[in-house]
């Protein structure tokens, strides 16, 4: 494998990792994802932001996801900062 293959692999890992994360945010109901960043407008971005900040389902799902995450055990010898809720 040459260095070009490694760079290309790292590029795809970065891109698909971010895309998978964005899809998970949407699937969990904690946010929105604007896939077409080349055509985003200030108005559309504002509309989505207002929606996330005002629709109760986004907060409810974020609280649910936070609580689920808090219930996941950490590896031995580690700790997480306390979460407020």
User: pTM for this one?
Assistant: 0.66
Report d(CA 70, CA 22) in Å as an integer. 21
| In the chain, domain spans | 3-70
Report d(CA 52, CA 31) in Å as an integer. 6
58 within 8 A of 29, measured Cβ to Cβ: yes
Model pLDDT, residue 9: 61
| Residue 23, CB-side half-sphere exposure with 13 Å CA sphere | 6
The 8-class DSSP code of residue 41 comes to -
Q: Which residue has the tokens 């979460």?
A: 83
25-74 pLDDT, tens per residue?
999 999 998 767 788 899 989 999 999 999 999 999 999 999 998 888 87
Tokens of 57: 């389902």
């Amino acid at each position: 494998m040459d260095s070009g293959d490694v760079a290309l692999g790292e590029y795809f890992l970065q891109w698909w990792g971010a895309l998978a994360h964005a899809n998970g945010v949407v699937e969990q109901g904690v946010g929105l994802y604007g896939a077409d960043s080349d055509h985003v407008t200030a108005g559309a971005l504002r509309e989505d932001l207002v929606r996330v900040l005002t629709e109760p389902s986004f907060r409810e799902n974020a609280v649910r996801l936070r609580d689920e995450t808090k219930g996941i055990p950490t590896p031995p010898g580690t700790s997480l900062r306390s979460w407020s809720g």
